Amino acid sequence: MTKLNVALIGHQFMGSAHSNAWRQVGAFYDLPLEPHLAVVCGRNRETTEAAANRLGWAEASTSWEEVIARPDIDVVDICTPGDSHAEIAIAAAAAGKTVFCEKPLANSVEESRAMLAAAEKAGVLHMLCHNYRRAPAVALAKRMIDAGEIGEIRHYRGAYLQDWIVDPNFPRVWRLEKSKAGSGALGDIASHSLDLARYLVGEISEVCGMLETFIRERPLEDGSGMAPVDVDDAALAMLRFDCGAIGSVEGSRFCPGRKNYNRFEINGSQGSLVFDLERMNELEVYREEGANGGFRTVLATDPSHPYVEAWWPPGHILGYEHTFTHTVLDLIHAIDREELPSPNFGDGVRNQCVLDEIEKSHESRGWRQVEA
């Protein structure tokens, strides 16, 4: 089987999740190409070598430029913080590599447009990693919507709630600095809800949003004093979709008890669907069936459900990390078929436009059109 040489740039949380996906996909799925974990790249020699060893990469490098220049590398998988995505992706595309980029695509619309343009100009395949699209229950929701099982969609209600910075003494980490993170809950988690909205319901035409920072100053990590928080702790927006549906989306890090509550509810003319990432193997489904209808809990672990056939018998649940395994699976098939995978940099641009208009809407205190 032809090898597919992969280079991973970045080896923190997302790098670990991507490594696992590359390492595991072949043990469960029949693949047209054999992924080879060729090289992992990081800033620090020692930690990168340790990561290579732990995560299963053949080599370690501290220069992404050198890695991209290697002729044997087929895929560049970018797991660095968002502010470096554009530079690496544009260089990788120019080098003719397939580019696989963790979300968000970039920290600005401009950067994301440049990335898309670079990939298109180079004629390379590009994919954006929005892994939750490939939770089996979410993919099942998509399948049901596409089959018309809930009819015409009227409402999307998305929320991604967490509680990790409720404590005002939690330090001012990089995710709370605008210059590094771009935004707060908006770009980090509400962005997932928005991507799922676009995936499941369609393009968003208008937004009206608000941002809030509850704790405006936090201790520095090194204990040397306080520093301002200049990103949003919570973001909320109302939405209008091209298809006529309306909706809302929210991200907050100030919801005690919500650990990783990425929930959506979709109401159509014939039924409703509800998903919550904390129970990611389940899809709540309501179909119009008369008085004895009701929300049913579909355990998305049947071989007939998306991506499940390769795994365990019904009722044996999958974990978070396999949303990445399924993403990598589809990327490998797309490379084999020389087809543009989905979501790709075009989705990244579109997502960034929506986030951008929400921020502008917060400033202008009113609705904003999202450019097509």
Q: Which of residues 57-116 bind its own copies (CB under 8 A)?
A: none
> Which one of residues 103, 154, 192, 350 is an interface residue with its own copies (CB under 8 A)?
154
> Which one of residues 19, 183, 191, 351 is an interface residue with its own copies (CB under 8 A)?
19
Residue 2 interacts with its own copies (CB under 8 A)?
no
Interface characters, 294-323, with its own copies (x: CB under 8 A): xxxxxx-xxxxx------xxxxxxxxxxx-
Distance in Å, CB of 218 to its own copies, minimum: 14
Residue 174 interacts with its own copies (CB under 8 A)?
no
Number of residues lying near its own copies (CB under 8 A): 89
Distance in Å, CB of 93 to its own copies, minimum: 30
Pull the structure tokens for residue 306: 């998306």
| Sites for its own copies among residues 235-264 (CB under 8 A) | 236, 238, 240, 244, 246, 248, 250, 252, 254-261
CA distances from 92 to 22, 126, 152 (A): 19, 10, 41
Burial class (CB in 10 A: 0-12, 13-18, 19+), 8: buried
Residue 164 interacts with its own copies (CB under 8 A)?
yes
Interface characters, 270-289, with its own copies (x: CB under 8 A): xxx----xxxxx---xxxx-
Measure the CA–CA gap between 187 and 235, rounded to whole angstroms: 9
Measure the CA–CA gap between 254 and 161, rounded to whole angstroms: 7
Q: Which residue has the tokens 């059109």?
A: 369
Return the range that interacts with its own copies (CB under 8 A); candidates 64-72, 99-107, 230-238, 342-350. 230-238
CB 271 within 8 A of CB 180: no
Nearer to its own copies, 172 or 362 (CB): 362
DSSP letters of 103-124? SSS-SSHHHHHHHHHHHHHHT-
Q: Tell me the CB-side half-sphere exposure of residue 361, using CA atoms within 13 A.
A: 23
